[in-house]
Every structure is written in C-alpha cells, then in structure tokens.
Chain A
C-alpha cells in the first residue's frame, strides 16, 4: 500500500455523508473527484489533500477537524453547522 494511504487514521466522512443524504457519486461530483476517490477516502485508503478535505467538509457542512480529526472517533450525529455549502 502506497504513501497516499491513510491506513490507521479513521475519519467520519461516510457517516457525515449519510447524514447529509448524499450518495458517494453525488459527493464526488460536488467536489470534482471520481467516486472511487470518495470510496477510498471513506475507507481510509487515501489521505486527501488539504484542498479536497476542505471541499468535502464544506459540502457536508462540517469542519475538517470533525471529519478527519483524531479526537472523538464517534460518528457525527448533530446537524451540520452553518458552513456555506456549495452545490
């Protein structure tokens, strides 16, 4: 597994995406990547760039820390905060 892997670092993208009612394909289209990239990010098989992480967080209405931070590994359950969401 290559250096782009984020193995061992959990993230909460899948839960946040599900809470937002988006499919992987919809999220991928919104942040201009392939669906395979979203799959890899959610599975921890790919560490996104800071720009992609920001785009994903903005689309899901979360902060990057909420999605990728080390603390509080529980899935986010609250409403997305008031981040401007791009369509």
Chain B
C-alpha cells in the first residue's frame, strides 16, 4: 500500500470536531476535563471504566435473569427494562469506539472462551423470559419475539465469529 492509498481509506476514524455523536459523547463523559490531560490518570481511568462496564454487563444480566426466574411474569417488564438499559449503555460504548475506528465487537476479537459463561447466562435469561411471558396478547408476543430475536443474534455472533477466526487463521 502506498502512502497515497491512505487518502482513500474508508475506515478513517472521525474526530470530535466533525462528528455530532463524538461531540455529544465528549459532553456526557466530560472528556475535556483537565483530568484527562494527565496521561496515566487517563489510561488508568480507562482501564477502571472497562472493569466497571464489564461488571455492569455481568451484574445487569445476572440480575435480569434472577428477576425473570424468581419474580416470574410480574417482574418481566422490570427485567427486560434492566436488560435493555444495560444493552443501551454498552451499545453507546461500542458505538463510541467504532466512531474512532476501533471495532471492539469484531467477531473474531469478541468471541473468546471468556464469553461462554456470559452466553450461557444470556440463554438462561432468554429462556426465563419465554417461560414467564404470557402465551398470547401483545406483551407475550413482544417477549417471545424479543427472546427469539436475541437468540438469533447470539447464534449469528457465534457463527460469524467462527468464520472470522477461520479467515484469520487462513490469512
């Protein structure tokens, strides 16, 4: 690749100046704080935030799973709301990284053995949703549809990850 090829690279990450999402994220995260000017503070806080995000993912899913299995149908709206909240927060994190050219969710990188317990917990949550949801009506249809969609997404992630790993191994 020549130097000039870089000018046509579609993966050029955005900058906070030209991207509304990054500007909004910088405002939410207070990223212009003098705290971030000290590089070790910034790096350590980034690691601490990663720990916190991972912990939130685990505890959020574990709590949602416990709610649907213990609380049953009455807890379903709260469990799904918590699950959606955790998903939205992690989605914003992934979107921020992607805007800056880091694809954290690239299947070959994401699909590690470390993820297996999380997928099992996710399967338990989805099974709990299906079990607790009413069989008919909009709430039941919504819950079954959401669980089915999530299950398909997980299958797609696993299959995509396996293919990406094979591609990487062959390259």
Seen from chain A, the residues whose Cβ lies within 8 Å of a Cβ on chain B are: 2-4, 32-34, 36-37, 40, 46, 48-49, 51-52
Contacts and interface: CB of A to CB of B under 8 A. Distances in A.
A46 B40 contact: yes
B19 interface: no
A49 B39 contact: yes
Interface in B33-60: 37-41, 43-44, 47
B47 A4 contact: yes
A67 to B, nearest CB: 16
Interface of B: 37-41, 43-44, 47
A4 B43 contact: yes
B44 A4 contact: yes
A21 to B, nearest CB: 24
Contacts of A33: 38-40
B47 A52 contact: no
B40 A34 contact: yes
A36 B47 contact: no
A34 B39 contact: no
